[in-house]
Structure 1
Amino acid sequence: MKVSLIHGVCVRHDAISNAIADQYHWLRGAGHDVRLYAHVCHQPGVACHAVGALSDVAFDAHFQQSDLVLFHFGIYYALFNLLPVVPRGARRVVAFHNITPKHLMAPAQHETIDRSFRQMANIAFADHVLCDSGINLGVLRAARIGTAATVLPLAVASPPAPVPDKPSARDGIVRLAFVGRLVGSKGPQDLLAALRQVLAQTGPDVRLALDVVANIAFSDPALLDMMRAAATDLPRVAGGRIVVRLHGDAPEDAKERILRDADVFVLPTRHEGFCVPIVEALAAGCKVIACDNSNTPAVTGGHASLVPTGDVDALARALAADIAQVRAPAWRSAGAGGYGEHALDAWRFVQQFSPALIRQRFIDAVGTLVNLD
């Protein structure tokens, strides 16, 4: 079977790009002839047909002869306008990743978000939509797009067994982690405000470390500057009781180490179509704090503290409670209610997103769609 994958870019440290890379390798592993069309590709191991204009795809022989054309969509890109002109006989499928609402974006991004929602109407030309979550499917239906759809979560790798313990059990330093773009919709400003409250209310024996893993290229420069300033200001104000480390574009092994060591993962996000970092944090045995919106209730499955969106005081209370819990002897014991029980329950929950399981569901869905006739 000939397959064309289409997106604007396929880069590192990006959930949509990672999903494209997964599907590229899964389809090739199943024996299919796959070509990715994109303007830019930095994903290792993915051979890309780099294109400029829409005509570079439309008149390419592989595209013209494809049995399946799979577009990914989460924000406006010119190549998505090829969907209505996919050659007759090819199945047209869209992997829909949702669009961040305009009110959560910087003003400079508002025009792009407006264009994205207008372009989303192209999905009506698809034969089928693969949605990362039920929330994403709801967005389509709210937009009166009735195209047949399947909810297919993203694949998220997890360790082969629960993480046995955390370094804080030995050195007493409670490690906090944040993974995500430094943009308003991810809430880094709320995290810093809540941390200041916690530091003001805790005693000198509470020692913290915050590791921030951020995609620098896709971050808001003002929030990036805020986080860099916090790396100096917070330790000074707190008398050295906290260390703040900013890891820009950290490689996967560094991110995995940070999550493996972290006691508490905090993401005060205001909108998620799926949220891979939350799943990764649960898999690594972290306590998770997030906000109660969009897909976070579903992707945490009762294994997180969810606070009202934008409520910094509630976020600070949740953060203080989790810090106190992970410092308590009961948490470090092998008994009920301790770390070991939490890590095992969370690890079991995230196995529903295992790459092997999602790969098989994807391959089965593609096979069904192509052979509908």
Structure 2
Amino acid sequence: MKISVVHGICVRNDAISNAIADNIGWLIEAGHEVVLFAYACEHAAVPHRLVRDVTDIVPDPHFQASDAVIFHFGIFYPLFDLIMLVPARARRLVVFHNITPKQFVGAEHHATIDKSFAQMGNVMFADHVACDSASNLAVLRTAAVTTPASVLPLAVHGQAQPCAAKPGHADCIVRIVFIGRLVQSKGVADLLDAVARCLRADTTAQIALDLVANLGFSDPVLVDAVHGAAAEWARVFDSRVTLRLHGDAPDELKQRLLAQGDVFVLPTYHEGFCVPIVEALSAGCRVVCYDNSNTPAIAGGFARLVPTGDIAALAAAIGDELALVRSPPWQADGFATFAAGAWGHAKTFAPARARCRLTTLVADLVNGALDN
């Protein structure tokens, strides 16, 4: 069948873009002819056509001949209004990734968030909506969007097998990893504050904190704050701590940091899914995160959950993890037991499973199996 996929962008180091690339690859492997229509695309393997607006898409022969048109939605973009101009013969599927509420973003983004929630109403024009998580589906239902829906978790490309050991078991350096945009909603300032508290409270702790971030989608003020903390910590704590920012890091570096990491900390204020938590568990990292939106569900009982916004509790939780991963019982067999269980949970998000769910849903939608 012919399938059109529509989104604003498909770029590196972006969760929605990665989901789009996965979906298109799977559909092509299933024998379908797929084209992405977008303003920008950095994934060379994705068949795409760059457009300026909907008028570049409507007359396109592939779009007009499509059996299905798939829209990904997580933030306002004008091309999403094309859902009302889809050819009558085509089925319309929306993949909903949720919207970050405006109380968790800077004031300069409030207008965009307001437009995003208004545009979310376009989902009512879809024949079906696929949500990354049950919490995302709840957002739609709360907004009185009653479109038939399924929950399709995203694919997570994690470790091929449980992690055998961590470098910190030998050198006593606790490696903490953060992955995410440097924006208010990801709790970057909370993380820096909490780690500094841990260093002051435990003068024996040696910490290496690595932050992996897409700088193109980050707040310059928070980027400067990370650089400032690195300089201040070097003066105050000397060699007890290293703080490194890896901007736009390749996936290989991210995976290596997770493989070496002891603790993954993400004090996020809102998540529609949260791939990094699953990646961290797959790599045998302990996880500390705030308890909101989809984080409790995605962690599957393998995370230390902290009341959202409670920096003192966050510091205490990180401190507990510092003590745990340095303890003899943990290094003797506690780690191996945890890593095996966490890896087993992470494998429930394996790409092969996500591929089967997505390709089956699209086929059922086009064939009318979802109409009843």
TM-score, normalised to structure 2's length?
A: 0.98
* Aligned match of 1:21: 21
Instruction: Please give the residue correspondences for 1:102-141 in structure 2 after superposition, counting only pairs within 5 Å.
Output: 102-141=102-141
Return the offset for 1:46.
1.2
* Aligned match of 1:354: 350
1:156-192 Cα deviation digits (max 9, x unpaired) = 0122210100000111110000000000100010001
- 2:349 maps to amino acid: F
* Aligned match of 1:240: 239
Taking the aligned partners of 1:306 and 1:234, their CA distance within structure 2 comes to 26
- 1:355 maps to amino acid: P
Instruction: Please give the residue correspondences for 1:230-269 in structure 2 after superposition, counting only pairs within 5 Å.
Output: 230-269=229-268
**Residue segments in structure 1 that go unaligned for 5+ positions in a row:** none
Return the offset for 1:89.
1.2
Return the offset for 1:359.
0.2
Return the offset for 1:53.
1.8
Taking the aligned partners of 2:11 and 2:350, their CA distance within structure 1 comes to 22
- 2:343 maps to amino acid: W
* Aligned match of 2:8: 8
**Residue pair 1:231, 1:246 contacting (<8 A) in 2 also:** no
* Aligned match of 1:371: 367
Instruction: Please give the residue correspondences for 1:284-299 in structure 2 after superposition, counting only pairs within 5 Å.
Output: 284-299=283-298
- 2:323 maps to amino acid: A
1:140-171 Cα deviation digits (max 9, x unpaired) = 00110000000000000122210100000111
Taking the aligned partners of 2:298 and 2:233, their CA distance within structure 1 comes to 31
- 2:319 maps to amino acid: A
1:19-58 Cα deviation digits (max 9, x unpaired) = 0000110010001010000000002311210001211001
**Residue pair 2:289, 2:306 contacting (<8 A) in 1 also:** yes
SS, match of residue 212 in structure 1: strand
Determine whether 1:30 maps to 2:30: yes
SS, match of residue 333 in structure 1: helix
Question: RMSD across aligned C-alpha pairs, in angstroms?
Answer: 0.7
1:212-270 Cα deviation digits (max 9, x unpaired) = 00010000111111011111111221132100000000000000000000000000000
* Aligned match of 1:340: 336
Taking the aligned partners of 2:236 and 2:44, their CA distance within structure 1 comes to 42
Taking the aligned partners of 2:66 and 2:83, their CA distance within structure 1 comes to 13
Return the offset for 1:350.
1.0
- 2:55 maps to amino acid: S
Residue range with higher mean Cα deviation, 230-239 or 172-181:
230-239
Instruction: Please give the residue correspondences for 1:186-265 in structure 2 after superposition, counting only pairs within 5 Å.
Output: 186-203=186-203, 205-265=204-264
Taking the aligned partners of 2:174 and 2:44, their CA distance within structure 1 comes to 34
Taking the aligned partners of 1:66 and 1:45, their CA distance within structure 2 comes to 20
1:66-86 Cα deviation digits (max 9, x unpaired) = 000000000000100000110
- 1:51 maps to amino acid: V
Give identity over the alignment, percent.
53
Structure 1 residues 324 and 44, CA gap change in structure 2 (3 angstroms)? farther
Determine whether 1:66 maps to 2:70: no
Taking the aligned partners of 1:183 and 1:300, their CA distance within structure 2 comes to 22
SS, match of residue 166 in structure 1: coil
SS, match of residue 321 in structure 1: helix
**Residue pair 2:3, 2:35 contacting (<8 A) in 1 also:** yes
SS, match of residue 237 in structure 1: helix
1:312-365 Cα deviation digits (max 9, x unpaired) = 00000000000000001111102xxx1000000000011110000110111111
* Aligned match of 1:96: 96
* Aligned match of 1:83: 83
Taking the aligned partners of 1:200 and 1:240, their CA distance within structure 2 comes to 14
- 1:358 maps to amino acid: A
**Residue segments in structure 2 that go unaligned for 5+ positions in a row:** none
Taking the aligned partners of 1:261 and 1:56, their CA distance within structure 2 comes to 47
Determine whether 1:49 maps to 2:49: yes
- 1:257 maps to amino acid: R
Taking the aligned partners of 1:63 and 1:256, their CA distance within structure 2 comes to 37
